[in-house]
């Protein structure tokens, strides 16, 4: 009669494994064709910023709610010092 009691219990919940799940491709080593001192100099100059080109700047501006982004806005942003660039998007929404 033990087999009858086992039939009534059911299979139970299926528990997924806690193992690693691949969610993306291999890591991309960007800018490793230059030495670490060159990469540091590029970063200090702001050349490795995601706002270095107009398309990414315009995308960031439209995400903050600015409708009309001109190339003049971008050229004014490029000449700002590093500290002011960090605060540019914070001050845009005010």
pLDDT tens profile 6-38: 555 666 666 666 666 667 666 667 677 888 899
pLDDT digits (tens, 9 = 90+) for 38-91: 988 888 877 777 677 888 888 888 888 888 888 998 999 888 887 888 788 887
> Which alpha helices (DSSP H) does 10-94 contain, by range?
36-45, 54-63, 71-78, 82-92
Residue 62 is predicted with a pLDDT of 85
Residue 7 is predicted with a pLDDT of 59
Report whether 47 contacts 78 (CB < 8 A): no
Residue linked to tokens 């219990």 = 9
Q: Where are the domains of the chain?
A: 50-94
Number of DSSP helices (H) and strands (E) in the chain, helices first: 5, 0
């Amino acid at each position: 009669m033990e087999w009858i009691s086992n039939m009534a219990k059911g299979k139970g919940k299926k528990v997924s494994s806690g193992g690693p799940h691949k969610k993306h491709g291999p890591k991309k080593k960007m800018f490793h064709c230059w030495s670490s001192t060159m990469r540091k100099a590029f970063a200090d100059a702001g050349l490795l910023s995601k706002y270095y080109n107009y398309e990414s700047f315009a995308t960031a501006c439209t995400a903050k709610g600015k409708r009309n982004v001109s190339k003049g806005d971008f050229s004014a942003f490029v000449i700002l010092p590093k500290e002011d660039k960090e605060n540019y998007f914070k001050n845009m929404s005010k």
